[in-house]
């Protein structure tokens, strides 16, 4: 197996990169936007400009409604929507622009029995591990059924980004929960998700699956796809996109991603990638 190569964003030669990739994917939370928050004006403008240069995908564990709020409501008509590919719930669903609206092109929903088993296992093990907080400490849904994905969020979906980052900085808590739930559900994929979350999806579904589907949809080899994300550690949910063979770029915050996009746009402006 080839080694997984992950590039730090500030070490990439953007003029070289645009000769090596034909499409690029992005994580959403802590990459394109602060967790559960809309894109900034500057990000919306830069991201939209990039869609006018090359196919862009967003691959996130979040549900489609978050894509609407965090991305689509911000870009409006600025983006080339035919060049934008939305892959919520880790690529278990795919939305494309049909000329008048965003349409779901496929969805791989979990079997009802598996969804029930996932919810029961997450609940039981979170309580056993002391991760089931009092109701008044949780903001938003704690366990969310996204159809194709069950997500446990220790602090609730709408907890503040600062609270999420402070809760489990070394990721031991949610990695322990993921391991315990995985032992219960060998027929499913269980993984550490965002900063406070654990996701359960169909077997074999992760961001490497999403990248392979994107490759087929665009008719672009995986090796010619870039991917930008903040969770590139081996336990992180962006790592599978790197392991799939993309040109993986690690960022730590949306400002880094904005610098990535500006670097690409500047490189395109030289004419090398036109």
114 marked as part of a ligand binding site:
no
Give pLDDT, residue 271: 64
146 marked as part of a ligand binding site:
yes
pLDDT at 272 over 80: no
- Indicate which residues carry an active-site annotation: 27, 29
Other Cβ atoms within 10 Å of 182 Cβ, number? 17
Show the tokens assigned to 36: 């559960």
Quote the CA–CA distance of 274 and 269 in Å, as a whole number.
8
Structural domains of the chain sorted by starting position, each given as residue range(s) with its CATH number in brackets: 6-108+205-269 (3.40.50.1000), 112-202 (3.30.1240.20)
Other Cβ atoms within 10 Å of 119 Cβ, number? 16
Q: What is the pLDDT of residues 152-203, one digit of tens each?
A: 999 998 899 889 989 999 889 999 999 999 999 999 999 887 789 999 988 8
215 marked as part of a ligand binding site:
no
Q: What is the pLDDT of residues 83-127, one digit of tens each?
A: 999 999 888 899 999 999 999 999 988 999 999 999 999 999 999
> DSSP of 65-97, one letter per residue?
HHHIIIIIHHHTTSS-GGGEEEEHHHHTEEEEE
Give pLDDT, residue 242: 97
Cα-flanking dihedrals φ and ψ of residue 33, to 5°? -155, 160
């Amino acid at each position: 197996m080839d080694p997984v190569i992950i590039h730090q964003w500030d070490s990439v030669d953007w003029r070289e990169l645009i000769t090596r990739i034909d499409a690029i994917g992005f994580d959403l939370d802590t990459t394109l936007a602060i967790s559960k928050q809309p894109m900034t004006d500057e990000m919306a403008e830069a991201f939209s400009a990039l869609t006018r240069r090359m196919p862009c995908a967003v691959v996130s564990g979040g549900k489609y409604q978050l894509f609407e709020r965090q991305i689509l409501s911000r870009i409006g008509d600025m983006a080339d929507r035919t060049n934008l590919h939305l892959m919520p719930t880790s690529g278990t669903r795919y939305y494309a622009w049909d000329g008048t609206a965003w349409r779901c092109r496929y969805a791989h929903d979990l079997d009802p029995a598996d969804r029930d088993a996932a919810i029961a296992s997450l609940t039981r093990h979170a309580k056993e591990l002391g991760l089931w907080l009092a109701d008044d400490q949780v903001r938003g849904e704690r366990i969310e059924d996204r159809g194709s994905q069950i997500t446990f969020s220790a602090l609730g979906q709408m907890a503040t980004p600062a609270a999420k980052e402070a809760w489990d900085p070394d990721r031991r808590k949610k990695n322990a929960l993921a391991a315990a739930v995985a032992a219960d559900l060998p027929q499913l994929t269980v993984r550490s998700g965002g900063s406070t979350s654990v996701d359960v999806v169909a077997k074999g579904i992760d961001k490497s699956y999403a990248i392979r589907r994107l490759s087929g949809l665009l008719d672009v080899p995986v090796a010619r796809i870039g991917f930008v994300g903040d969770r590139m550690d081996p336990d992180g949910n962006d790592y599978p996109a790197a392991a799939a063979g993309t040109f993986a770029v690690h960022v730590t915050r949306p400002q880094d991603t904005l610098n990535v996009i500006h670097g690409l746009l500047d490189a395109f402006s030289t004419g090398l990638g036109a």
